[in-house]
Structure 1
Amino acid sequence: MEPRPIDRSLLRHQGNHVSEKIWTGNERMIRPRHRRRLSMVHEIDSRIRALIDNAGFGHAFEIGDSNIDHHLITALVERWRPETHTFHFPYGEVTITLQDVALQLGLPIDGEVVTGYSSSNWKEVCSLLLGHSPPENDMLGGKVNLTWLENTFEFLPPDATDEVIAQHARAHILLLLGGLLLPDTSGSRVHLMYLQNLVDLPAAQNYSWGSPV
């Protein structure tokens, strides 16, 4: 049985594709990185949650933690073709669309582009928008450890001002971005460049967050 596509003019990367390894007996289980967010929904202070909802991330926080089916993920990767950006199934091709992102995550897919500068004095940015500056060992370039965010913003003081509540809301959204929506290959850090889109929290819902996700 010939496992390769008959017409290689389009699927030209078959020689390096994971399905090639299956037929040569070198298949391996894929284990995606998965990270628990700062808090479950019911543990987030209602004052913080109100700002998160206004920023357009409320539905994404409802997702909670979920178990990953490694066998299913492995099977999907085996069916994914980088040449066409689609899954090749026996009944045809399918792919993830912006509509899927909007329906499942509740993120806006219309609006302003999520873009901006990727270099800055991030310690000053953190002090201004988060109220805290991470130590050197918790930063790598413009990225900050999610653990530092978790530990620093775990509890909101009862007498917190509006500014402090907003700082905690931004930290929670960063944790959501780095831990679930836009994780990097480290699985433990998030880039602080997203803070520039969270300066005005109500205005954050005007960005098309679903597009980069």
Structure 2
Amino acid sequence: MRRSTRRSSIGIGLGAEERFNSKPTGSFSTRFSLSSFVKRVEKLTDDQRTAIKKVGFGNLLLIPNQMLSKSLLVELMDRWNSEECGFMLLPGIVKITLMDVALILGIRVIGVPILLREDDAFSELETDYGAALWKRKITIASLESRLDLLGQVVNEDFVRTFILFTFGTILFPNANGKVDSRYLSFLKSLDDISRFAWGAAVLEDIFMWLNKRKESNVQYVGGCLILLQVWCYEHIDLARPELMECQSMFPRACRWESSKSHQRQWFAAKFREMQDCQITWHLQPTSEELQFDVINELLEVESSSIDNSSDDGSTIGVTGLEVESLEHNSCKVQGGKVINLKRSTVPQSIPEVQTMGFPSTSDASVAHEDCMEIPSECQNLQQLTSSQFFTVKGCWSSSTRIRCD
């Protein structure tokens, strides 16, 4: 793995936007559909909810319907820098970390990696879902029909079908409204489903789409866009909506009201005027969030990396895993039980890390433009991970997720 050549993520200075965002992209379409997912969740019985919770996706059932702020997402995506694998803002580069995914979605980011291969054997289970050897795809419509026929039944078929539906609507939505049937190889045994690092796979997928849009100016954007939007609320004090009045604030995608819309020009101006004090560089778990396994296991991995550090102190753990550039614009997510985090060069003027508790809401001025929720896509996966000052090294070679279409 070649050494990262990324610049410091702090103190980029004025003119950064002009250097890295000189060619704004246009609007986009997507098949991401939180509303479809929430409507399906509302039909679930208590027993069905329990079954989904047992395989590790129970926290997703808590997420309320929210409209996507298309203007906000367009401006945020325009600030994505493929080489740095981060958002290039005036105060510095801000990255999406594995901790962010765990806090926002409440799914595992540590575990067995997801690997889809072109030469994966075609299974009878894929045939049962209507896929073919020459077209290993399952339509969202067929999954919805299957769930309708199952009704209130709670069995393995229901669990697999609901998870595939979840993949196609909110976690890995793609341009054609279909789900890769090779995911079924990870759903054969219900006891094993929760062992996989689904959150790391979601993170890789959203990075692939951000790179694709930035480099090719594609009009379609796939991936888990609610992760991207809530990440923006959590890290950037810019047009934050009201906090929900609810008992549980986990996962964090549950705690935000729908955003009030503004025109794209309004967001563009706010991004250009952004100050360091508006950014929360790293999210820190609250005492309530520390009660959840998906958070604790990530912290334990980071803690173990400190315990196994070398005598010269060159290895250190942080709240998140760092992205290293592998090629010009590709990033690799490393996750699992054995992780070495090597210190990168960091300037002395690092701002104090802010703790994200319950942020105050920003101005609630109402504008008129487009909050939207529409349906996303995934194909060849790029690979990534997270924290601001460290680089992942030495993880086992199979810890990447590859999607080949």
TM-score (norm 1): 0.75
- C-alpha distance in 1, partners of 2:147/2:40? 14
- 1:110-121 → structure 2 map (5 Å cutoff): 110-118=110-118, 119-121=120-122
- Per-residue CA shift, 1:103-138, capped at 9, x if unaligned? 11111111111225544435x2146xxxx44277xx
- C-alpha distance in 2, partners of 1:196/1:64? 30
Structure 1 residue 32: Cα displacement: 3.4
- C-alpha distance in 2, partners of 1:56/1:166? 14
- The 1:184/1:32 distance shift into structure 2, 3 A limit, reads closer
State the match for 1:9 in structure 2. Answer: none
Structure 2 residue ranges without an equivalent (≥5): 1-14, 203-405
> Which SS does the other structure have where 1:20 is aligned?
coil
- The 1:197/1:31 distance shift into structure 2, 3 A limit, reads same
- 1:85-100 → structure 2 map (5 Å cutoff): 85-100=85-100
Structure 1 residue 157: Cα displacement: 5.0
Is 1:210–2:199 an aligned residue pair? Answer: yes
State the match for 2:103 in structure 1. Answer: 103
Counterpart AA for 2:191: P
- The 1:64/1:175 distance shift into structure 2, 3 A limit, reads farther
- C-alpha distance in 2, partners of 1:133/1:94? 41
Structure 1 residue ranges without an equivalent (≥5): 6-13
2:159 to 157, 166, 169: 169
State the match for 2:178 in structure 1. Answer: 189
- C-alpha distance in 1, partners of 2:197/2:163? 15
- C-alpha distance in 1, partners of 2:168/2:55? 17
Q: Does structure 2 retain, via aligned residues, the 8 Å contact 1:48–1:166?
A: no
- C-alpha distance in 2, partners of 1:45/1:126? 26
- Per-residue CA shift, 1:31-76, capped at 9, x if unaligned? 4332222844331133322221010001112224321101000110
Counterpart AA for 1:91: P
Is 1:147–2:149 an aligned residue pair? Answer: no
Q: Does structure 2 retain, via aligned residues, the 8 Å contact 1:81–1:88?
A: yes
TM-score (norm 2): 0.42
- C-alpha distance in 2, partners of 1:52/1:41? 10
> Which SS does the other structure have where 1:211 is aligned?
helix
- C-alpha distance in 1, partners of 2:150/2:47? 9
Q: Does structure 1 retain, via aligned residues, the 8 Å contact 2:38–2:64?
A: no
Counterpart AA for 1:134: G
Structure 1 residue 87: Cα displacement: 0.4
- The 1:38/1:106 distance shift into structure 2, 3 A limit, reads closer
State the match for 2:27 in structure 1. Answer: 29
- Per-residue CA shift, 1:190-210, capped at 9, x if unaligned? 111111111222321111111
Tell me which protein shows more helix as a share of its residues.
Answer: 1
- C-alpha distance in 2, partners of 1:78/1:176? 27
- The 1:208/1:194 distance shift into structure 2, 3 A limit, reads same
State the match for 2:22 in structure 1. Answer: 20
> Which SS does the other structure have where 1:183 is aligned?
coil
Is 1:134–2:130 an aligned residue pair? Answer: yes
- C-alpha distance in 1, partners of 2:70/2:141? 25
Is 1:47–2:47 an aligned residue pair? Answer: yes
Counterpart AA for 1:144: I
- The 1:38/1:91 distance shift into structure 2, 3 A limit, reads closer
> Which SS does the other structure have where 1:167 is aligned?
helix
Structure 1 residue 83: Cα displacement: 1.1
Bigger mean CA deviation after superposition, 84-93 or 61-70: 61-70
Identical-pair percentage: 25
Q: Does structure 2 retain, via aligned residues, the 8 Å contact 1:30–1:74?
A: yes
- C-alpha distance in 2, partners of 1:30/1:60? 25
- Per-residue CA shift, 1:131-185, capped at 9, x if unaligned? x44277xx97111101111012224356x5x6xx210111000011121111223
- C-alpha distance in 1, partners of 2:199/2:32? 20
Counterpart AA for 1:59: N
Q: Does structure 2 retain, via aligned residues, the 8 Å contact 1:45–1:156?
A: no
- C-alpha distance in 2, partners of 1:48/1:126? 23
> Which SS does the other structure have where 1:87 is aligned?
strand
- C-alpha distance in 2, partners of 1:67/1:150? 22
> Which SS does the other structure have where 1:33 is aligned?
coil
RMSD value, Cα: 2.7
Q: Does structure 1 retain, via aligned residues, the 8 Å contact 2:81–2:87?
A: yes
State the match for 1:178 in structure 2. Answer: 168
- The 1:4/1:38 distance shift into structure 2, 3 A limit, reads closer
Q: Does structure 2 retain, via aligned residues, the 8 Å contact 1:51–1:169?
A: yes
